[in-house]
Structure 1
């Protein structure tokens, strides 16, 4: 369905080496890697928010050069309009597409039911918790019924308990809607719990270094032996990339004990450097 063909990106330096990727309808893919590896840049190129320096992105053979309703985007910050209530926030893109107020509100209410927030339809964004705000943001991204849902570290700012609850919510939404999801994260455990295919990115410049397929069925439970084994495999794959980031950031202060890696798999790679 989605083809990424020899996509590169330069800013002051090369951010992405040539990337090739094919995404099938209904897949849940995670982009995983340390800070600065280009995974968010690639997601923005797919969304049409950035233009590649070379290469192209195609959807059903058509080259994508700008944002479009077939791609919904969820960012790390919910970005809700504070002057609109929850229902109006979700209905906003529908009204922008020319739907009548009644149809837009009906569709928005259906989406709020999907994310279990219908009782908060008339609440204001400031009255919601962080997890509830992100559920509203997901509902709004689904409003135009996109074929692909792009998610850029949507749960990074949430506390651990809320984050785990959101994992369950997102799995349910994915299974109910059948959307194709591309999910960017620093968190190994998050990627393993959610995705069916995990692409590990190398850094300087960013490129796909390894691919892991998660065979465990959904919903996935904490402590599953297969998942723990996969987390450790991915952690070993990322060790070299994390060393590169640490050496660059810390310089002469960098030191990594040969006896082991200093982070548990559920730590966000690079977030606290």
Structure 2
């Protein structure tokens, strides 16, 4: 179940990442991340009301861990991710994301004592190689495509590291406390949003200046779609995965998001190269090794 949830999250995030990349050209990274967090938090509360799940007394340890995870993984990590999208676009940003799984595995090994079997490490390596092979396929880029490589690498590394730390902290909360994935996702998202609010106030950066401009309705629509798919459903599935699979395995499967973009691109009439197909097959071998490894 944990592995399947991670793959489902990867599939959903592959679509939402394309939308975030478009939105990152219109809004600042901080504002975009805050809107995502607030809207997703409302969605989590609505889901809990529908499912009859209430935020009962949460163990202090779980609450603290998940808040720190939200500060780091969502407040800092997602903002860095949005900045990377602005600097180098979705394709190369996703490539930087493939560094997160080994970081997660190493951090989980050091702090949680999670020892991945050799099969899992081989699967992680093969999956990363397959994803990297797909993303580095040279395809013609539009003239206005973002190309600030230095900033993109810096923010991509920050995003990968913070996502790894956030995942391990969430995994720790699931290992030693009794908390549901939905409640944990709400706590993480709320904590990340709180950090972003303080950050924006400190910088005195205005928000929602674009709402009265032409095209605002379309932007709201894209934000809602990306938030519902990626920040709401995707994060919920990520928390389920971290609850039921080893952190390194979960993060590796989630990093396969770029693979799911290929069928969408083909349906939209874009040419998918033989190299990309080979990369998918390589990554699928790695995914196969990871199933059951945790």
Same fold (TM over 0.5): no
Going by fraction, where is strand more abundant, 1 or 2?
A: 1
Give the TM-score taking structure 2 as reference length. Answer: 0.26
Q: Could you say which structure has the greater relative contact order, defined with CA pairs below 8 angstroms and 6 or more residues apart?
A: 2
Q: Highest CA radius of gyration, 1 or 2?
A: 1
Give the TM-score taking structure 1 as reference length. Answer: 0.27
